[in-house]
């Protein structure tokens, strides 16, 4: 047993264990009796939640029903009834995130939400923007484009995967900001390494050092994956996509902007339901989702996805997803495969990435699908991101397939 595996098992060691295809003891996964039904087949199992989740059958059926109702009757009464479900979804999601409904905008995805902050922040020449170097392009390159227009400066910093403690990570964030820093923007959970930053501790420390920095957190790998309480994380804005871990409709996302900042951030699109003049903005963060005609049926079904998370509870979803990821991580460690992702339990997530050259990573995705029927991704190496719809059999199959393809790793 390696030191890394032993340290990881200190956390999962309280769970019961079961045998696997690797012949070693793996953490068991609790029976997910309340997990909803999905439509994928056993030879095409998604394990790529970091990119795209399947939609539960009841949510996709609700979306189809709303679309059918609109197609049959586009009268003002029907349209108003379907459109009103957007506010129901907003209220439900706000409650799940510990926010006010007036602080949430329902946009199209994380990229759009990030760009509202990027393009809408009141920045001037000489202002400094500090970025974690593992940010998504919509939270990285977008800032470079903004800086070129406004004369701002962009500075990036790194967090080594082998970092050993939360305080070390916090110190790296603190050291990255200066007196000129106006924005600190970082990803909570990296899609390219799976590293999970200690977001609450980071935000608290930054506030103590310099409380006028706008802190934006990209939650693309957070919303729907972990229990995240915006009442306990002192960030100024937060973004997410429904099509990832939230298992919701596609082309729907969210942007949270804390109430005290809504007035100073400019919207990037001004359209319906904005009023007849510049002073007639929709209430609160709704000004950021005044994007004109939308897919009302898709947005309406966001409320059905929220109801699912209410029933499962965010803590329950995180627990189930983490158990699946723990079983996968231990099995891969036992195979001795090289990790990109940290195996320090303080920084692990349900995004697990192994080292593989670009060409080999693409081949691994193809070979593992043929061998095991599991859909993975070639991002940052060979990436697996299991969620609550994955079970012990799915995990064991991908572990065994990875073992048979071990020559392609490294």
Asked whether the beta carbons of 361 and 386 are under 8 A apart, the reply is no
Q: Which CATH entry fits the domain spanning 59-310: 3.10.350.10, 3.40.640.10, 3.30.1360.170, 2.40.50.140?
A: 3.40.640.10
- Cα 12 to Cα 326: distance, rounded to the nearest angstrom: 7
Start and end residues for every CATH 3.40.640.10 domain found in the chain: 59-310
Taking CA 121 as the corner, what is the angle to CA 106 and CA 123, rounded to the nearest 5 degrees?
Answer: 170
| pLDDT for the residue 30 | 72
Query: Is the omega angle on the peptide bond into residue 273 within 30 degrees of 0, that is, cis?
Result: yes
Map tokens 């079983």 to a residue: 327
Whether residue 19 has pLDDT greater than 60 = no
- Residue 25 has a pLDDT of 74
Please tell me the class of the 3-30+313-408 domain.
alpha beta
Q: Does residue 16 carry a pLDDT above 50?
A: no
Kindly state the average pLDDT of the residues 220-233: 97
Residue 250 · residue 243 · CB < 8 Å: yes
Q: Which two tokens stand for residue 26?
A: 């793996």
CA–CA separation, 176 vs 96, rounded Å?
A: 32
DSSP string over 220-274: TTTTTTS---TTTS--SEEEEETTTTT---SS-EEEEE-HHHHTTSPPS---TTS
Is 10 a residue whose pLDDT tops 60? no
Q: What percent of the chain is modeled with pLDDT above 90?
A: 91
Q: Which of 320, 228, 318 is nearest to 34 (CA)?
A: 320
Average confidence (pLDDT) over 380-397: 97
The two structure tokens encoding residue 174:
């603190």
């Amino acid at each position: 047993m390696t030191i890394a595996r032993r340290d990881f098992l200190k956390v999962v060691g309280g769970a019961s264990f079961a045998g696997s295809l690797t012949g070693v003891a793996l953490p068991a996964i609790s029976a997910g009796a309340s997990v909803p039904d999905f439509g994928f087949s056993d030879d095409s199992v998604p394990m790529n939640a970091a990119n795209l989740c399947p939609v539960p059958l009841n949510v996709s059926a609700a979306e189809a029903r709303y679309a059918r109702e609109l197609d049959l009757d586009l009268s003002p009464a029907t349209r108003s009834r379907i459109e009103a479900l957007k506010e129901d979804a907003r209220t439900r999601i706000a409650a799940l995130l510990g926010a006010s409904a007036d602080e949430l905008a329902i946009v199209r995805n994380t990229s759009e939400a990030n760009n509202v902050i990027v393009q809408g922040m009141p920045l001037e020449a000489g202002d400094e923007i500090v970025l974690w170097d593992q940010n998504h392009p919509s939270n990285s390159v977008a800032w470079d484009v903004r800086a070129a227009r406004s004369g701002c400066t962009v500075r990036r910093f790194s967090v080594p995967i082998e970092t050993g403690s939360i305080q070390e990570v916090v110190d790296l964030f603190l050291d990255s900001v200066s007196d000129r820093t106006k924005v600190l923007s970082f990803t909570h959970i990296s899609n390219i390494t799976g590293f999970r930053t200690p977001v609450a501790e980071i935000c608290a420390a930054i506030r103590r050092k310099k409380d006028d920095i706008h802190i934006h957190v990209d939650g693309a790998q957070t919303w729907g994956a972990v229990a995240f309480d915006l009442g306990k994380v002192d960030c100024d804005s937060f973004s997410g996509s429904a099509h990832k871990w939230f298992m919701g409709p596609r082309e729907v996302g969210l942007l949270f902007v804390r109430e005290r900042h809504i007035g100073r951030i400019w919207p990037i699109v001004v359209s319906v339901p904005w009023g007849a003049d510049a002073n007639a903005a929709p209430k609160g963060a709704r000004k950021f989702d005044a994007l004109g005609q939308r897919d009302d049926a898709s947005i309406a079904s966001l409320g059905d996805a929220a109801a699912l998370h209410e029933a499962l509870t965010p803590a329950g979803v995180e627990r189930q997803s983490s158990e699946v990821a723990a079983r996968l991580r231990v099995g891969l460690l036992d195979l001795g495969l090289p990790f990109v992702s940290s195996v320090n339990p303080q920084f692990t997530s349900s995004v697990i990435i192994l080292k593989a050259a670009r060409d080999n990573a693409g081949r691994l995705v193809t070979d593992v699908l043929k061998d095991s029927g599991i859909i993975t991704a070639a991002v940052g190496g060979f990436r697996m991101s299991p969620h609550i719809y994955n079970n012990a059999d799915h995990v064991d199959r991908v572990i065994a397939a990875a073992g048979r393809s071990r020559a392609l790793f490294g």
